[in-house]
Copies of this chain bind each other. A is one copy, B any other.
Amino acid sequence: MALRHIALFRWTDGVTSEQVGEVVDGLSRLPSRIPELRAYTFGPDLGVSDGTYDFGVVADLADEKALTVYREHPDHQAVLAVMRPLIADRASVQIHIADPE
C-alpha cells in the first residue's frame, strides 16, 4: 500500500492571485526535484461549492519514509516559506492508497 498525503489551506484575508500564483509556481517545480513524488496535484479551489477551503495539495508517495523526504526537501521548504504567511487554516490527512499498477 502506498500513501496519499492531503493538505487543504485557507488563506488569510487579502491574499492576492499573484501570491497564489507564486505558490503554484513553487509547487510546480517540486515533482522534477523530488523523485519520491509519484503523483502531485494541487491548485486553488474552483469555487463550485460553498464553505470550501482555498487551496488543495495531494501528494502520492511510496511510504512514510518518502513522505519525510518530501517534507524535509529544501525545495519544498522553500515553497512552505512562501506559503506560511498566507495560511489562516490547514487541514491534512495521510491515507493508504493502492500501489500503482
Interface residues of A (CB under 8 A from B): 3-4, 6, 8, 41-46, 48-49, 51-56, 58, 64, 67, 91-98
User: Beyond A4-B58, A6-B56, is A95–B44 a contact (Cβ under 8 Å)?
Assistant: yes
Contact call B4/A93, Cβ cutoff below 8 A: no
Number of copies: 2
Contact call B94/A52, Cβ cutoff below 8 A: yes
Enumerate chain B residues within 8 angstroms of A96, measured Cβ to Cβ. 43, 46
A45 to B95, CA, bound (A): 5
Enumerate chain B residues within 8 angstroms of A95, measured Cβ to Cβ. 41-46, 55-56
Enumerate chain B residues within 8 angstroms of A55, measured Cβ to Cβ. 93, 95
